[in-house]
Amino acid sequence: MLRDKQVINALVAETVGDDTANANLTETAKVQKSILADAVSEQNGRALPPGWVPRWFTFPASQYLSERAAALAERRSRISDIAE
C-alpha cells in the first residue's frame, strides 16, 4: 500500500531512526519496506518505538508530505476553519 518513496523513507526515519533512513535513502522502496517489516515483526535487531502509529492514525490526523494532504488531515483542516 505504500507507494511514495518519500513517505516510506519518513516512516523508516520515524520507526528505526534517521541514521538508518539516511543510509538507505537511495535504496529501492522494496528494501526500505523490508526495513519497516523488520521493525514491525521485531526481527534483525529492529523494533518499533513503544506506542508508535503512523501519523495518519493519530488524532488529529497529520501527514508526512507537506505538498500532499492526507484525506483525514485535509478534512480536519476544513472543519476547523469552518468551526472558527
| Of 18, 11, 51, the residue nearest 32 (C-alpha) | 11
What integer pLDDT is reported at residue 57 of this predicted model? 87
Q: Please compute the mean of the pLDDT values over residues 56-82 and round it to a whole number.
A: 70
What integer pLDDT is reported at residue 72 of this predicted model? 59
pLDDT digits (tens, 9 = 90+) for 9-42: 999 999 999 999 999 999 999 999 999 999 999 9
Quote the percentage of the chain above a pLDDT of 90. Answer: 40
Cis-peptide into 60, omega within 30 deg: yes
Residue 28 or 62, more confident: 28
Quote the percentage of the chain above a pLDDT of 70. Answer: 79
How large is the C-alpha radius of gyration of the chain?
15
